[in-house]
Chains A and B, each alone.
Chain A
Amino acid sequence: MTDLIRLNDVEKSYVRGKEKITIFDKLNLHFEAGDFVAVMGPSGSGKTTLLNLLGGTDRPDKGAIEFEGQPIEKLSEGKLTAWRSANVGFIFQFYNLMPILNAAQNVELPLLLTRLSPAKRRENVATALKIVGLEDRARHRPREMSGGQQQRVAIARAIVSDPKLLLCDEPTGDLDRTTADEILSTLQVLNRDLGKTIVMVTHDAEAAKFAKRVLHLDKGRFDERELAA
């Protein structure tokens, strides 16, 4: 398989008060197209920072991030935003749906950034909702749906523009076991049948079992043996 995204000698640190906190120091990492990786680690290990770097919502201090061989870390804000909308889908722990919009409108949101006609947008929204099994809830607002259903809407929103990479930040962290397993199964289907590359950050060892491989992160460093595997 070819690399979808690659991090080369990435350094990232934050300043908190007068203290400089180093998250990553010369991190080298790559994810192949079609992979489904669970990233585990204690709080503060750098999991969310990794997702932010992979998704272009944050930039490295040093080093390079390549997507399909093209560097993205030096793209202008506008180009990086456009790249993100075309290539990356995000799934959050707390769903982050717009309460003022119904399910279909929430899913349609990323398509407002495309040149698709309203009719084509509606078609794509219907397809995405069908994939997550919520075609009959299109007109329901988030508050009218369960947590699991809201997360399915969030997944539909993440895949509606057909991105290659899905970044999931604790996608089942707010759900009961049964619902969590249903969501994880849906992610497996997206990976297996639609070829989506998925990077999932989780604290949950049960959730990690749904991934093809698991990487453990601690203090900004991955387990070298897992990386080599």
Chain B
Amino acid sequence: MNDLTLMRKNLFRKPMRTTLLLISIFIAFLMFGVMVSFDRAISNFSTLPTRMVTMSRINFTETLPIAHYDSVARTEGVAVATHTNWFGGYYRDPAKGFLPVFAVEPESYLKVYADDLRIPAAQRETFLKDRTAMLVPEAIAKRLQWHVGQRIPLNSNIYSQADGSHTWAFTLAGIIPPGPTGSRANNVLIRYDYFNETISFGRDRIGWVAFLTTSAKLNDKVAHAIDARFANSSDETSTQDEAAFTKGFTAQFGDIALVVTLVVGAAFAAILLIVGTTMALAVRERTREVGVMKTLGFSSGRILRMVLGESLLLALLGGGLGLLGADGLLALLAKIGGGRGSPIEFAPSVIGWAALIALVLGLITGFAPALGAYRMRITDAFGRR
């Protein structure tokens, strides 16, 4: 037996009360883990400082004429450009099989996003040669049990073919290895030429142009030149670096960081009051025992440390379980999602913050009862029954 044994036994002397406290702390840390991971996932995306995007000035759902691509590619300071169309794909059942499918110009796209897409050379060659070829992220291929060489019918809930069909047949040319959170490695890629030939409307239109500049220092100049060229045309553009483009995209969900701060802050404030009050009550119930321990020779400082240790143990245990729960929940969501969009992964940096919060939570909730036990006089402890 040692002090830790005493702390543990004191903590669980009323299992129901401790379990309820643990559940409340668990929920707060679960929310913290999930929401901060979500925030990290949408704010930490894979990009390059020289990568820029030109899209319609109205918004990214408006298409641009293909001629804009050629014009952007020829702009001074642009190293390489590509273009992308949102296909709006699903596999068999639109309710279950949503897929992030993009129609791209293959050769230039693989250059512009070379940092994200590390596709085996042979599969890359197939994608470049076969007009019906398709590249699929590893997670989606696994979930749908697809294999290289397989013919796969994909449907679009936006486009249709000339015969009215919404279904296109593609050959799975390659598997895209997992990339960093927010990278293009999570998207299904089909070829624009095949897509453009077969659609019944919107032909020769593109979603947006992505390009690399020769130097990040030229970004502003290049953006200004492109947007000035299309000013007062029927298809005005907005050019910005990819980081700003993605931030703008996520901003449509609202200020996630503020929401996370407010929700998690409110949860922790409530926990602070609940745990603090309960800890104070629990230690007050043990007034006589504290008196006995002091009588036996336990110093006030040691008793203070034991009470603080008890509240720290509670906070760390509840917090640890909450983070495990968050990790498990995110993994479950990723599994259910099966590659639909970029999966939200548990951010390891959450652990450090959570440990710090648990530490502060434990110290604050334990401070008042610990100080009370520290100051308690033996004669008073036995006088209070």
List A residues at the B interface (Cβ < 8 Å). 52, 55, 57-58, 77-78, 81-82, 84-86, 90, 92, 96, 98-101, 105, 108-110, 112-113, 157
Q: Indicate if the CB atoms of A84 and B297 lie closer than 8 Å.
A: yes
Residues on A with C-beta less than 8 A from B13 are 99-100
What number of B residues sit within 8 Å (CB to CB) of A? 22
27 A-B residue pairings within 8 Å (CB atoms): A52-B378, A57-B379, A77-B299, A78-B301, A81-B294, A81-B297, A81-B298, A81-B299, A81-B300, A82-B299, A84-B296, A85-B297, A90-B295, A92-B292, A100-B13, A101-B1, A101-B6, A101-B9, A105-B1, A105-B5, A108-B1, A110-B297, A112-B1, A112-B3, A112-B298, A113-B298, A157-B296
Chain B nearest CB from A33 CB (Å) reads 21
Chain A nearest CB from B283 CB (Å) reads 14
Main secondary structure of the interface of A (DSSP, over half): helix
Name B2's closest neighbour in chain A (CB-CB): A112
Q: Indicate if the CB atoms of B300 and A96 lie closer than 8 Å.
A: no
Name A78's closest neighbour in chain B (CB-CB): B299
Residues on A with C-beta less than 8 A from B295 are 55, 57, 84, 90
Alpha-carbon gap, A229 to B260, bound state (A): 80
Q: Indicate if the CB atoms of B10 and A100 lie closer than 8 Å.
A: yes
Alpha-carbon gap, A90 to B381, bound state (A): 15
Q: Within 8 Å of chain A (Cβ to Cβ): is B288?
A: yes
Residues on A with C-beta less than 8 A from B292 are 92, 96, 98
Residues on B with C-beta less than 8 A from A112 are 1-3, 298
Residues on A with C-beta less than 8 A from B294 are 57, 81
Q: How many A-B pairs fall under 8 Å by CB?
A: 57
Q: Within 8 Å of chain A (Cβ to Cβ): is B269?
A: no
Residues on B with C-beta less than 8 A from A157 are 296
Main secondary structure of the interface of B (DSSP, over half): helix
Alpha-carbon gap, A134 to B1, bound state (A): 20
Q: Indicate if the CB atoms of B379 and A110 lie closer than 8 Å.
A: no
Q: Indicate if the CB atoms of B9 and A113 lie closer than 8 Å.
A: no
Name B5's closest neighbour in chain A (CB-CB): A105
Among B289, B299, B301, contact of A98 (Cβ-Cβ < 8 Å)? B289
Chain A nearest CB from B184 CB (Å) reads 58
Alpha-carbon gap, A86 to B13, bound state (A): 29
Q: Indicate if the CB atoms of A110 and B1 lie closer than 8 Å.
A: no
Chain B nearest CB from A65 CB (Å) reads 16
Contact status of A57 and B378, CB under 8 A, knowing A100-B9, A100-B10, A105-B1: yes
Chain B nearest CB from A106 CB (Å) reads 10
Among B1, B293, B297, B379, contact of A58 (Cβ-Cβ < 8 Å)? B379
Alpha-carbon gap, A140 to B298, bound state (A): 24
Q: Indicate if the CB atoms of A109 and B9 lie closer than 8 Å.
A: no
For window 279-326 of chain B, which residues contact chain A by CB distance below 8 Å? 288-289, 292-301
For window 1-34 of chain B, which residues contact chain A by CB distance below 8 Å? 1-3, 5-6, 9-10, 13
Name A105's closest neighbour in chain B (CB-CB): B1
Among A100, A108, A109, contact of B293 (Cβ-Cβ < 8 Å)? A109
Q: Indicate if the CB atoms of A52 and B379 lie closer than 8 Å.
A: yes
Name B9's closest neighbour in chain A (CB-CB): A100
Residues on B with C-beta less than 8 A from A100 are 9-10, 13
Residues on B with C-beta less than 8 A from A78 are 299, 301
Q: Which 3 A-B pairs have the closest CB atoms?
A: A85-B297, A57-B378, A100-B9
Among A52, A85, A99, contact of B296 (Cβ-Cβ < 8 Å)? A85
Name A77's closest neighbour in chain B (CB-CB): B300
Alpha-carbon gap, A81 to B299, bound state (A): 6
Contact status of A90 and B296, CB under 8 A, knowing A52-B379, A101-B9: yes
